[in-house]
Amino acid sequence: MHAFEAVARPKMLLADASEDEIKIYVEEERELALGALTTFMARLPFDPGPWSPLVVEGEPVLAISKTVERLRPDLIVVGTQSRTGLAKNFSGQCH
């Protein structure tokens, strides 16, 4: 699972962007997130076995919580991207 925030959505709403413009932006962000997840999985130093990509828009804690409630997994592994300092503590994406 990759949770992402479409950070420009609120600004687009304030700028009176159309619903279609916002949907296009969110879909572009979703595609970027899917690409990041796919790259992450491909670079693992081991074979993760079969997997299905899941990309969810939203604040990571809430997105992960809702997904856990829906899918009821046996195990959850949460990681962060390779960041340091404040960027690591305030990251908006989880893998």
Q: Per-residue pLDDT tens for 59-68? A: 989 999 999 9
Distances (CA, A) of 18 to 14, 57, 62, 70, 78: 11, 19, 26, 31, 35
> pTM of the predicted model, to two decimals?
0.73
Looking at residue 1, its pLDDT comes to 85
Per DSSP bridges, beta strands 55-57 and 2-4 are: parallel
Which residue is listed with tokens 């960041």? Answer: 83
| 32 contacts: CB under 8 Å, gap ≥ 6 | 4
Q: Per-residue pLDDT tens for 9-60? A: 999 999 999 999 999 999 999 999 999 889 989 999 999 899 889 999 999 8
Distance CA 77, CA 51 (A): 14
